[in-house]
């Protein structure tokens, strides 16, 4: 489990296609403190650490194997070497829950349809997959590329958020432009309520 509070902005170090695709990530995390098999949320996708180390310049890195299904269902299919990635390590007992409960299981891909400056913040409007839009509510939470955000407005399958300067600077959201795609995870409670309604 995660909170959607990004603690490192790293990059894709290498991509190595094989049976599964191995991604290596450069990170500011001290990988000495990262256990093999640990979970790290990578721009909204929960991945398992299968290798780690330090480069010649002292740069820390870790690797994860990514299945074809994960590539098909997330924006990881678009990632290239050098692409920025939001990182969050898994919650430990006693950690502060500063955002909302995030599972790292991407529900779909949203597309940024428009951006406008609003004071010091940035208003971003996204188009959600039609099947997910009923589970997005004003004043509710979503995770976009792993970042916990509050939904300001909802209009059909379109929803808007405000992103403060700190978040723009410390996450990949600051580099987004109209037409870009992001990993969308809806609020976990909304997911289970929708399932119960479907069964009911």
Asked whether residue 12 is domain-assigned, the answer is yes
Residues 81 and 127 in one domain: no
Residues 81 and 26 in one domain: yes
Q: Which of 54, 89, 124 is the last residue of a domain?
A: 89
Residue 16: Cβ-neighbour burial (10 angstroms; 0-12, 13-18, 19+): exposed
Position 93 scores a pLDDT of 67
Asked whether residue 97 is domain-assigned, the answer is no
Asked whether residue 183 is domain-assigned, the answer is yes
Give dist(CA 39, CA 88) in Å, integer. Answer: 9
Asked whether residue 172 is domain-assigned, the answer is yes
Residue 144: Cβ-neighbour burial (10 angstroms; 0-12, 13-18, 19+): buried
Per-residue pLDDT for the chain (200 aa), expressed as one digit of tens each? 899 999 999 999 999 998 899 999 999 999 999 999 999 999 999 999 999 999 888 899 999 999 999 999 999 999 999 999 999 999 876 666 667 889 999 999 999 999 999 999 999 999 999 999 999 999 999 999 999 999 999 999 999 999 999 999 999 999 999 999 999 999 877 666 666 666 65
Number of separate domains in the chain? 2
Count of H helices and E strands in the chain? 3, 14
Could you tell me if 149 and 171 are in contact, meaning their C-beta atoms sit under 8 angstroms apart?
no
Domain housing 122: 108-199
Residues 84 and 115 in one domain: no
Residues 114 and 142 in one domain: yes
Residues 194 and 114 in one domain: yes
Local structure of 149: helix, strand or coil:
strand
List, in sequence order, the alpha helices (H) in 74-164.
none
* CA distances, 14 to each of 26, 41, 140 (Å): 9, 17, 36
Local structure of 74: helix, strand or coil:
coil
Asked whether residue 66 is domain-assigned, the answer is yes
Specify the CATH number for the domain of residue 13. Answer: 2.40.30.20
Asked whether residue 35 is domain-assigned, the answer is yes
Asked whether residue 187 is domain-assigned, the answer is yes
List, in sequence order, the alpha helices (H) in the chain.
68-73, 165-170, 188-199
Residues 83 and 114 in one domain: no
Give me 56's structure tokens.
């010649």
Could you tell me if 165 and 121 are in contact, meaning their C-beta atoms sit under 8 angstroms apart?
yes
């Amino acid at each position: 489990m995660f909170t959607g509070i990004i603690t490192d902005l790293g990059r894709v170090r290498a991509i190595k296609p094989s049976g599964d695709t191995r991604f290596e990530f450069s990170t500011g995390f001290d990988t000495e403190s990262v256990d093999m098999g640990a979970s790290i949320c990578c721009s909204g996708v929960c991945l398992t650490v299968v290798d780690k180390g330090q480069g010649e310049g002292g740069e820390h890195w870790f690797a994860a194997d990514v299945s074809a299904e994960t590539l098909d269902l997330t924006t990881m299919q678009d990632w290239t070497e050098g692409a920025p990635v939001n990182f969050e390590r898994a919650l430990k007992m006693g950690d502060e829950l500063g955002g909302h409960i995030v599972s790292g299981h991407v529900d779909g891909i949203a597309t940024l349809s428009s951006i406008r400056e609003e004071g010091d913040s940035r208003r971003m409007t996204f188009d959600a997959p039609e099947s997910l839009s009923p589970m997005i509510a004003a004043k509710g939470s979503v995770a976009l590329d792993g970042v916990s955000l509050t939904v300001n407005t909802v209009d059909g399958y379109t929803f808007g958020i405000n992103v403060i300067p700190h978040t723009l600077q410390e996450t990949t959201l600051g580099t987004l432009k109209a037409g870009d795609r992001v990993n969308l995870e809806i609020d976990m409670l909304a997911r289970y309520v929708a399932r119960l309604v479907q069964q009911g």
